[in-house]
Chain A
Protein backbone atom coordinates (compact mmCIF):
# COMPACT_ATOMS: atom_id res chain seq x y z
CA UNK A 1 0.00 0.00 0.00
CA UNK A 2 1.36 3.38 -0.88
CA UNK A 3 2.07 5.74 1.99
CA UNK A 4 -0.65 8.30 2.67
CA UNK A 5 0.42 11.85 3.58
CA UNK A 6 0.43 12.43 7.32
CA UNK A 7 -2.59 14.33 8.60
CA UNK A 8 -1.92 18.01 9.11
CA UNK A 9 -2.58 19.53 12.51
CA UNK A 10 -2.61 23.02 13.90
CA UNK A 11 0.61 24.90 14.60
CA UNK A 12 -0.82 25.62 18.05
CA UNK A 13 -0.40 28.82 20.06
CA UNK A 14 3.16 28.13 21.21
CA UNK A 15 5.22 28.03 18.03
CA UNK A 16 8.56 29.48 19.20
CA UNK A 17 8.57 33.17 18.35
CA UNK A 18 12.26 33.11 17.52
CA UNK A 19 11.58 30.51 14.82
CA UNK A 20 9.77 33.13 12.77
CA UNK A 21 12.29 35.93 13.20
CA UNK A 22 14.97 37.10 10.80
CA UNK A 23 13.63 35.23 7.77
CA UNK A 24 11.46 37.85 6.06
CA UNK A 25 14.08 39.65 3.94
CA UNK A 26 14.53 37.92 0.58
CA UNK A 27 16.10 40.89 -1.21
CA UNK A 28 19.62 40.62 0.19
CA UNK A 29 21.64 40.08 -2.98
CA UNK A 30 19.11 39.84 -5.75
CA UNK A 31 18.66 41.89 -8.88
CA UNK A 32 15.27 43.37 -9.64
CA UNK A 33 12.83 45.81 -8.13
CA UNK A 34 12.96 45.66 -4.33
CA UNK A 35 9.50 45.80 -2.82
CA UNK A 36 7.86 45.46 0.56
CA UNK A 37 4.79 43.33 1.07
CA UNK A 38 2.73 43.98 4.14
CA UNK A 39 -0.75 43.22 5.37
CA UNK A 40 -2.97 42.43 8.26
CA UNK A 41 -4.40 39.02 9.12
CA UNK A 42 -7.85 38.93 10.73
CA UNK A 43 -10.35 36.26 11.72
CA UNK A 44 -14.15 36.07 11.25
CA UNK A 45 -15.06 38.63 13.92
CA UNK A 46 -12.46 41.09 12.56
CA UNK A 47 -9.95 40.55 15.37
CA UNK A 48 -6.34 41.00 14.26
CA UNK A 49 -4.26 37.90 14.90
CA UNK A 50 -0.90 37.82 16.67
CA UNK A 51 1.89 35.36 15.82
CA UNK A 52 0.37 34.03 12.58
CA UNK A 53 3.15 32.38 10.58
CA UNK A 54 3.24 33.22 6.86
CA UNK A 55 5.64 31.59 4.42
CA UNK A 56 6.11 32.66 0.83
CA UNK A 57 7.60 31.09 -2.29
CA UNK A 58 8.21 33.05 -5.46
CA UNK A 59 10.23 33.32 -8.64
CA UNK A 60 13.05 35.81 -9.10
CA UNK A 61 12.68 38.96 -11.20
CA UNK A 62 13.13 36.91 -14.39
CA UNK A 63 10.52 34.30 -13.48
CA UNK A 64 13.05 31.66 -12.41
CA UNK A 65 12.90 29.44 -9.34
CA UNK A 66 16.52 28.23 -9.53
CA UNK A 67 18.43 31.49 -9.24
CA UNK A 68 21.53 30.99 -7.04
CA UNK A 69 21.50 34.74 -6.33
CA UNK A 70 17.91 34.73 -5.16
CA UNK A 71 16.35 32.34 -2.67
CA UNK A 72 12.62 32.81 -3.15
CA UNK A 73 11.47 31.51 0.22
CA UNK A 74 10.78 33.49 3.38
CA UNK A 75 8.86 33.42 6.63
CA UNK A 76 7.27 36.15 8.72
CA UNK A 77 4.97 36.29 11.71
CA UNK A 78 2.32 38.86 12.51
CA UNK A 79 2.80 41.28 15.41
CA UNK A 80 0.23 42.14 18.07
CA UNK A 81 -1.60 44.30 15.49
CA UNK A 82 -1.90 41.38 13.10
CA UNK A 83 0.64 42.91 10.70
CA UNK A 84 3.30 40.99 8.76
CA UNK A 85 6.06 42.29 6.49
CA UNK A 86 8.31 40.87 3.79
CA UNK A 87 11.07 42.59 1.84
CA UNK A 88 11.66 40.93 -1.49
CA UNK A 89 11.99 41.55 -5.21
CA UNK A 90 9.05 41.73 -7.55
CA UNK A 91 8.80 38.33 -9.24
CA UNK A 92 8.83 38.08 -13.01
CA UNK A 93 6.32 36.35 -15.25
CA UNK A 94 7.09 32.99 -16.81
CA UNK A 95 5.38 30.86 -19.42
CA UNK A 96 1.66 31.03 -18.78
CA UNK A 97 1.84 32.70 -15.35
CA UNK A 98 1.74 36.38 -14.48
CA UNK A 99 3.86 37.62 -11.53
CA UNK A 100 2.61 36.20 -8.24
CA UNK A 101 3.73 35.11 -4.79
CA UNK A 102 2.55 31.92 -3.09
CA UNK A 103 1.53 32.19 0.56
CA UNK A 104 1.21 29.40 3.11
CA UNK A 105 -0.52 30.36 6.37
CA UNK A 106 -0.03 28.43 9.59
CA UNK A 107 -1.74 29.23 12.86
CA UNK A 108 -3.31 28.13 16.07
CA UNK A 109 -6.90 27.11 15.39
CA UNK A 110 -6.10 26.42 11.73
CA UNK A 111 -6.25 22.66 11.49
CA UNK A 112 -4.50 22.64 8.11
CA UNK A 113 -2.24 25.04 6.27
CA UNK A 114 -4.02 27.59 4.12
CA UNK A 115 -2.62 28.22 0.66
CA UNK A 116 -3.25 31.41 -1.23
CA UNK A 117 -1.56 33.47 -3.96
CA UNK A 118 -0.93 37.18 -4.15
CA UNK A 119 -1.08 38.90 -7.55
CA UNK A 120 0.04 42.37 -8.63
CA UNK A 121 -2.83 43.02 -11.01
CA UNK A 122 -6.00 41.43 -12.32
CA UNK A 123 -4.71 39.59 -15.35
CA UNK A 124 -5.20 36.35 -17.19
CA UNK A 125 -3.60 33.58 -15.17
CA UNK A 126 -4.67 29.94 -14.76
CA UNK A 127 -4.60 30.08 -10.96
CA UNK A 128 -6.35 33.44 -10.69
CA UNK A 129 -8.90 32.29 -13.29
CA UNK A 130 -9.74 29.27 -11.12
CA UNK A 131 -11.22 31.67 -8.55
CA UNK A 132 -14.81 32.90 -9.07
CA UNK A 133 -14.57 36.25 -10.87
CA UNK A 134 -16.18 38.25 -8.08
CA UNK A 135 -13.53 37.09 -5.58
CA UNK A 136 -10.45 37.59 -7.79
CA UNK A 137 -9.81 41.20 -6.69
CA UNK A 138 -9.25 39.88 -3.15
CA UNK A 139 -6.02 38.28 -4.39
CA UNK A 140 -4.63 41.47 -5.90
CA UNK A 141 -2.30 43.51 -3.70
CA UNK A 142 -2.80 47.25 -3.44
CA UNK A 143 0.15 49.51 -4.14
CA UNK A 144 1.02 51.91 -1.30
CA UNK A 145 4.22 53.80 -2.17
CA UNK A 146 6.97 51.21 -2.57
CA UNK A 147 4.93 48.65 -0.63
CA UNK A 148 2.23 46.27 -1.72
CA UNK A 149 -0.57 45.73 0.73
CA UNK A 150 -2.06 42.24 0.90
CA UNK A 151 -4.53 41.75 3.73
CA UNK A 152 -5.73 38.30 4.61
CA UNK A 153 -9.13 37.57 6.07
CA UNK A 154 -9.37 33.95 7.14
CA UNK A 155 -13.15 33.84 7.29
CA UNK A 156 -16.20 36.06 6.89
CA UNK A 157 -17.16 39.01 4.68
CA UNK A 158 -14.43 39.59 2.08
CA UNK A 159 -12.78 36.28 2.94
CA UNK A 160 -9.52 35.67 1.11
CA UNK A 161 -9.79 32.87 -1.47
CA UNK A 162 -7.77 29.83 -0.45
CA UNK A 163 -6.72 26.87 -2.55
CA UNK A 164 -7.05 23.13 -2.22
CA UNK A 165 -4.30 21.30 -4.05
Chain B
Protein backbone atom coordinates (compact mmCIF):
# COMPACT_ATOMS: atom_id res chain seq x y z
CA UNK B 1 0.00 0.00 0.00
CA UNK B 2 2.92 2.31 0.70
CA UNK B 3 6.42 2.01 -0.68
CA UNK B 4 9.48 3.35 1.04
CA UNK B 5 10.71 6.62 -0.35
CA UNK B 6 13.79 6.92 -2.52
CA UNK B 7 15.87 9.53 -0.65
CA UNK B 8 17.30 10.88 -3.92
CA UNK B 9 13.83 12.07 -4.92
CA UNK B 10 13.30 13.85 -1.61
CA UNK B 11 14.89 16.94 -0.09
CA UNK B 12 17.94 16.60 2.10
CA UNK B 13 17.29 17.58 5.71
CA UNK B 14 20.22 19.94 6.25
CA UNK B 15 20.81 22.21 3.28
CA UNK B 16 23.90 24.34 2.59
CA UNK B 17 22.95 27.99 2.25
CA UNK B 18 19.75 27.59 4.30
CA UNK B 19 20.98 28.17 7.85
CA UNK B 20 17.77 27.30 9.72
CA UNK B 21 17.81 23.73 8.45
CA UNK B 22 20.82 22.91 10.66
CA UNK B 23 18.88 24.11 13.73
CA UNK B 24 15.72 22.18 12.87
CA UNK B 25 16.41 18.92 11.09
CA UNK B 26 16.95 16.07 13.61
CA UNK B 27 20.53 14.97 14.22
CA UNK B 28 19.49 11.41 15.08
CA UNK B 29 18.55 9.02 12.29
CA UNK B 30 14.83 8.79 11.64
CA UNK B 31 13.35 5.61 13.13
CA UNK B 32 11.78 3.05 10.82
CA UNK B 33 8.45 1.98 12.30
CA UNK B 34 5.97 -0.72 11.39
CA UNK B 35 2.89 0.71 9.71
CA UNK B 36 -0.42 -0.09 11.37
CA UNK B 37 -3.99 1.06 10.88
CA UNK B 38 -3.15 4.26 12.71
CA UNK B 39 -0.63 5.42 10.10
CA UNK B 40 -2.42 3.88 7.12
CA UNK B 41 -5.82 5.38 7.82
CA UNK B 42 -6.36 9.11 7.68
CA UNK B 43 -8.80 11.98 7.72
CA UNK B 44 -11.43 11.52 5.02
CA UNK B 45 -12.28 15.18 4.73
CA UNK B 46 -10.32 17.84 6.56
CA UNK B 47 -12.94 20.39 5.46
CA UNK B 48 -14.90 19.13 8.46
CA UNK B 49 -12.42 21.23 10.41
CA UNK B 50 -11.13 23.75 7.84
CA UNK B 51 -13.32 26.08 5.80
CA UNK B 52 -12.87 26.34 2.03
CA UNK B 53 -11.21 29.56 0.85
CA UNK B 54 -12.09 30.99 -2.57
CA UNK B 55 -10.24 29.61 -5.57
CA UNK B 56 -9.70 32.82 -7.55
CA UNK B 57 -6.88 35.05 -6.35
CA UNK B 58 -6.67 37.33 -9.39
CA UNK B 59 -10.04 39.10 -9.19
CA UNK B 60 -11.70 41.12 -11.95
CA UNK B 61 -12.00 44.69 -13.17
CA UNK B 62 -11.17 47.32 -10.58
CA UNK B 63 -10.49 44.52 -8.07
CA UNK B 64 -7.97 42.80 -10.29
CA UNK B 65 -4.64 42.00 -8.60
CA UNK B 66 -1.53 43.43 -10.23
CA UNK B 67 0.60 41.06 -12.24
CA UNK B 68 0.59 38.53 -15.05
CA UNK B 69 -2.61 36.53 -15.03
CA UNK B 70 -1.97 32.79 -14.77
CA UNK B 71 -4.15 29.71 -14.51
CA UNK B 72 -2.73 26.74 -12.62
CA UNK B 73 -4.11 23.28 -13.34
CA UNK B 74 -2.79 21.00 -10.59
CA UNK B 75 -3.64 17.32 -10.76
CA UNK B 76 -3.37 15.11 -7.69
CA UNK B 77 -2.61 11.44 -8.36
CA UNK B 78 -1.33 8.57 -6.24
CA UNK B 79 1.57 6.18 -6.81
CA UNK B 80 -0.58 4.08 -9.13
CA UNK B 81 -1.28 7.14 -11.25
CA UNK B 82 -4.89 7.07 -10.07
CA UNK B 83 -6.47 10.51 -9.57
CA UNK B 84 -7.37 11.42 -6.01
CA UNK B 85 -10.80 13.06 -6.17
CA UNK B 86 -11.68 14.88 -2.99
CA UNK B 87 -8.05 15.68 -2.20
CA UNK B 88 -7.95 18.94 -0.26
CA UNK B 89 -5.33 21.38 -1.52
CA UNK B 90 -4.08 24.56 0.14
CA UNK B 91 -2.22 27.03 -2.06
CA UNK B 92 -0.43 30.22 -1.06
CA UNK B 93 2.04 32.56 -2.74
CA UNK B 94 3.35 36.13 -2.69
CA UNK B 95 2.13 38.97 -4.88
CA UNK B 96 3.69 40.10 -8.15
CA UNK B 97 6.16 42.30 -6.26
CA UNK B 98 7.35 39.43 -4.04
CA UNK B 99 5.37 40.37 -0.90
CA UNK B 100 3.31 37.91 1.17
CA UNK B 101 0.17 38.84 3.06
CA UNK B 102 1.88 37.42 6.17
CA UNK B 103 2.72 39.92 8.97
CA UNK B 104 6.18 38.35 9.38
CA UNK B 105 7.21 39.29 5.84
CA UNK B 106 9.77 42.09 6.27
CA UNK B 107 10.52 42.40 2.54
CA UNK B 108 10.40 46.06 1.49
CA UNK B 109 7.99 45.47 -1.37
CA UNK B 110 4.50 46.91 -1.82
CA UNK B 111 1.36 45.08 -0.76
CA UNK B 112 -1.47 44.79 -3.29
CA UNK B 113 -4.86 45.68 -1.83
CA UNK B 114 -6.54 43.43 -4.40
CA UNK B 115 -4.47 40.36 -3.67
CA UNK B 116 -5.08 37.80 -0.94
CA UNK B 117 -2.57 35.08 -1.67
CA UNK B 118 -4.17 31.96 -0.24
CA UNK B 119 -6.81 29.42 -1.25
CA UNK B 120 -8.16 26.08 -0.04
CA UNK B 121 -9.87 23.87 -2.59
CA UNK B 122 -11.07 20.32 -3.23
CA UNK B 123 -9.95 18.26 -6.21
CA UNK B 124 -12.68 17.14 -8.59
CA UNK B 125 -13.28 13.68 -10.04
CA UNK B 126 -10.11 13.75 -12.12
CA UNK B 127 -8.01 14.92 -9.16
CA UNK B 128 -7.87 18.38 -10.70
CA UNK B 129 -7.63 21.67 -8.86
CA UNK B 130 -7.68 24.87 -10.89
CA UNK B 131 -6.57 28.24 -9.63
CA UNK B 132 -6.79 31.58 -11.42
CA UNK B 133 -4.21 33.90 -9.95
CA UNK B 134 -1.28 36.14 -10.82
CA UNK B 135 2.33 35.07 -11.22
CA UNK B 136 4.24 35.56 -7.96
CA UNK B 137 7.41 37.65 -7.99
CA UNK B 138 10.90 36.70 -6.87
CA UNK B 139 12.09 38.06 -3.53
CA UNK B 140 15.34 38.25 -1.53
CA UNK B 141 15.71 36.05 1.55
CA UNK B 142 16.86 38.15 4.54
CA UNK B 143 20.32 37.62 6.04
CA UNK B 144 21.57 35.31 3.34
CA UNK B 145 23.85 37.49 1.23
CA UNK B 146 22.13 37.23 -2.08
CA UNK B 147 19.71 34.31 -2.06
CA UNK B 148 16.62 35.20 -4.07
CA UNK B 149 13.69 32.83 -4.04
CA UNK B 150 12.53 32.17 -7.60
CA UNK B 151 8.82 32.65 -8.25
CA UNK B 152 7.06 29.71 -6.62
CA UNK B 153 3.67 28.61 -5.33
CA UNK B 154 3.26 26.71 -2.05
CA UNK B 155 1.06 23.59 -2.00
CA UNK B 156 -0.26 21.62 0.97
CA UNK B 157 -2.13 18.45 0.00
CA UNK B 158 -4.07 15.72 1.79
CA UNK B 159 -4.33 12.38 0.00
CA UNK B 160 -6.16 9.28 1.13
CA UNK B 161 -4.17 8.39 4.24
CA UNK B 162 -2.23 10.09 7.03
CA UNK B 163 1.08 9.29 5.33
CA UNK B 164 -0.08 10.80 2.02
CA UNK B 165 0.31 14.28 3.47
CA UNK B 166 2.45 16.45 1.21
CA UNK B 167 3.74 20.01 1.51
CA UNK B 168 5.78 21.27 -1.42
CA UNK B 169 6.40 24.18 -3.78
CA UNK B 170 5.71 24.59 -7.49
CA UNK B 171 8.24 26.43 -9.65
CA UNK B 172 8.00 28.12 -13.07
CA UNK B 173 9.89 26.79 -16.09
CA UNK B 174 12.91 28.65 -17.41
CA UNK B 175 13.51 30.94 -14.47
CA UNK B 176 17.27 31.42 -14.03
CA UNK B 177 16.85 31.63 -10.23
CA UNK B 178 15.66 28.01 -10.16
CA UNK B 179 19.19 26.69 -10.61
CA UNK B 180 20.51 28.62 -7.60
CA UNK B 181 17.62 28.02 -5.20
CA UNK B 182 18.79 25.93 -2.20
CA UNK B 183 15.23 24.68 -1.66
CA UNK B 184 14.66 23.35 -5.18
CA UNK B 185 18.26 22.11 -5.44
CA UNK B 186 17.92 20.17 -2.16
CA UNK B 187 16.31 17.44 -4.24
CA UNK B 188 19.33 15.66 -5.68
CA UNK B 189 17.69 13.68 -8.46
CA UNK B 190 17.37 15.97 -11.52
CA UNK B 191 14.20 14.26 -12.76
CA UNK B 192 12.55 14.58 -9.36
CA UNK B 193 13.56 18.23 -9.30
CA UNK B 194 12.12 18.83 -12.76
CA UNK B 195 8.81 17.41 -11.66
CA UNK B 196 8.56 20.29 -9.19
CA UNK B 197 8.53 22.71 -12.12
CA UNK B 198 5.19 23.35 -13.82
CA UNK B 199 4.78 23.09 -17.59
CA UNK B 200 3.62 26.01 -19.67
CA UNK B 201 0.68 24.98 -21.83
CA UNK B 202 0.53 26.45 -25.38
CA UNK B 203 -1.56 29.61 -25.18
CA UNK B 204 -4.01 28.35 -27.81
CA UNK B 205 -5.12 25.62 -25.41
CA UNK B 206 -6.06 27.49 -22.28
CA UNK B 207 -8.42 30.09 -20.89
CA UNK B 208 -8.11 33.43 -22.64
CA UNK B 209 -5.77 36.09 -21.32
CA UNK B 210 -4.03 33.81 -18.85
CA UNK B 211 -0.85 31.80 -19.14
CA UNK B 212 -1.74 28.23 -18.28
CA UNK B 213 0.53 26.00 -16.22
CA UNK B 214 0.08 22.27 -15.71
CA UNK B 215 1.45 20.72 -12.56
CA UNK B 216 1.23 17.14 -11.36
CA UNK B 217 1.29 16.27 -7.67
CA UNK B 218 1.96 12.67 -6.67
CA UNK B 219 0.91 11.79 -3.14
CA UNK B 220 2.04 8.63 -1.38
CA UNK B 221 -0.15 5.58 -1.32
CA UNK B 222 -1.66 3.23 -3.83
CA UNK B 223 -4.60 0.95 -4.27
CA UNK B 224 -8.03 1.29 -2.84
CA UNK B 225 -8.89 3.38 0.17
CA UNK B 226 -7.83 1.38 3.21
CA UNK B 227 -10.40 0.00 5.61
CA UNK B 228 -10.74 2.21 8.63
CA UNK B 229 -12.80 0.09 10.96
Binding site for B on A (CB under 8 A): 2-19, 23, 43-45, 47, 49, 51, 55, 57-59, 64-66, 71-75, 94, 96-97, 100, 102, 104, 106-115, 117, 126-127, 130-132, 135, 154-156, 159-165
Contact = CB atoms under 8 A, between A and B. Distances in A.
A109 B192 contact: no
A144 B178 CA distance: 48
A21 to B, nearest CB: 10
A71 B216 CA distance: 29
A75 B2 CA distance: 24
A92 B6 CA distance: 34
> What secondary structure prevails in chain A residues at the interface with B?
loop
A72 B43 contact: yes
Given A2-B80, A44-B22, A104 B49 contact: no
Nearest to B30: A164
Interface extent on B, as a size class?
A: 35 or more
Contacts of B165: 55, 104, 113
A111 B154 contact: no
B228 interface: yes
B41 interface: yes
A19 B31 contact: no
A5 to B, nearest CB: 5
Interface in B168-207: 168-169, 183-184, 186-187, 192-193, 195-196
B33 A127 contact: yes
